[in-house]
């Protein structure tokens, strides 16, 4: 049976190489916004909503109704605009249930007060593996896909799978697995599940594109293309080879510039820290922890 095809539009953030998505049911005109970015200028310490407002304008122009605001995981390289978009649209925000594990991990790293909630209450829905939902009339389900983070999930909406930071384009490879709570063996198992369980024609939409060789940004491939061409996980590459490759590459990568800024925002569903008695919000940066 052919899966329904959502209309998928990607919005590329060249600063963080991130891709935000609108996945829409062409019949009902209902949509989900996936992995929206809240702009942050770290030099000035200033947030803005340029990217999120671009998505809102697109939704208006296309006469869409926002049904869901979905994050695939707590991002390490940009702030989430989930809470901002919820305020603008009224749509519920959601993430995977293992965000609770990420909250607990980073609560310790940031030395947050003991009463800081780590039960995921900041979101309206916490998805478990194999949970189902709908985008308009299109069935959707969740695949728990850890390895890059403890909480990463894949959203399969009709024939489109939003694979976040597991796979990149077939000419680039896979995501890193050296963040706190990450694991290369687990990432390999998550990727194999995506490639083995989903039909070959399934469209895969990645969370980033780093434009190898200076090409223009790309973010769509298929399961069949990944299995044939991805240098890290194409058919025939075993787990030991993948883990060795991943660990060697990760050892050469610097931490994302915004990881210590972003995790305290994104483990709180994109909310900024509560203002202090002068009305100003402050970020807290742990030293010598990564």
The pLDDT > 70 percentage for the chain reads 100
Average pLDDT over residues 60-68: 98
pLDDT at position 258 over 90: yes
Which CATH superfamily includes the segment(s) 8-258? Ribonuclease Z/Hydroxyacylglutathione hydrolase-like (3.60.15.10)
Domain locations in the chain as residue ranges: 8-258
Interval 106-142: pLDDT, tens: 999 999 999 999 999 999 999 999 999 999 999 999 9
Average pLDDT over residues 241-261: 95
Cβ atoms of residues 142 and 32 within 8 Å: no
Average pLDDT over residues 156-180: 96
At 290 the pLDDT is 85
**Phi, psi at residue 156, to the nearest 5°?**
-105, 105
Residue 153 vs residues 12, 74, 117, 156, 284: alpha-carbon distances, Å: 20, 10, 21, 10, 27
pLDDT at position 1 over 70: no
Quote the tokens at residue 186. 């687990």
Average pLDDT over residues 50-63: 98
Distance of CA 271 to the CA centre of its chain: 16
Tell the residue number behind the tokens 């996945």, with chain if given: 23
At 2 the pLDDT is 75
């Amino acid at each position: 049976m052919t899966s329904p095809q959502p209309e998928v539009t990607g919005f590329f953030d060249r600063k963080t190489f991130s891709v935000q998505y609108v996945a829409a049911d062409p019949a009902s005109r209902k949509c989900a916004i996936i992995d929206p970015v809240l702009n942050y200028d770290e030099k000035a310490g200033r947030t803005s909503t340029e990217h999120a407002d671009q998505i809102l304008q697109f939704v208006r122009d296309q006469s869409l109704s926002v049904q869901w605001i979905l994050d695939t995981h707590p991002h390490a390289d940009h702030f989430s605009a989930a809470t901002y978009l919820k305020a603008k649209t009224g749509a519920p925000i959601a993430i995977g249930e293992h965000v609770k594990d990420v909250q607990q991990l980073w609560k310790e790293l940031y030395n947050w007060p003991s009463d800081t909630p780590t039960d995921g209450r900041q979101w309206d829905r916490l998805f478990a593996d194999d949970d189902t939902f709908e985008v308009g009339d299109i069935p959707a389900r969740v695949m728990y896909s850890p390895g890059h983070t403890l909480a990463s999930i894949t959203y399969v909406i009709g024939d489109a799978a939003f694979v976040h930071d597991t796979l990149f384009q077939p000419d680039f490879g896979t995501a890193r697995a050296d963040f706190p709570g990450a694991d290369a063996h687990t990432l390999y198992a998550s990727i194999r599940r995506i490639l083995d369980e989903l039909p070959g024609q399934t469209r895969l939409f990645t969370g980033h594109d780093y434009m190898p060789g200076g090409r223009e940004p790309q973010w769509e491939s298929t399961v069949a293309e990944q299995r044939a061409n991805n240098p890290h996980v194409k058919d025939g590459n075993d787990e030991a080879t993948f883990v060795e490759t991943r660990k060697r590459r990760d050892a050469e990568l610097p931490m994302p510039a915004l990881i210590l800024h972003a995790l305290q925002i994104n483990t709180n569903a994109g909310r900024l820290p509560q203002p202090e008695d002068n009305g100003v919000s402050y970020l807290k940066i742990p030293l010598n922890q990564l």
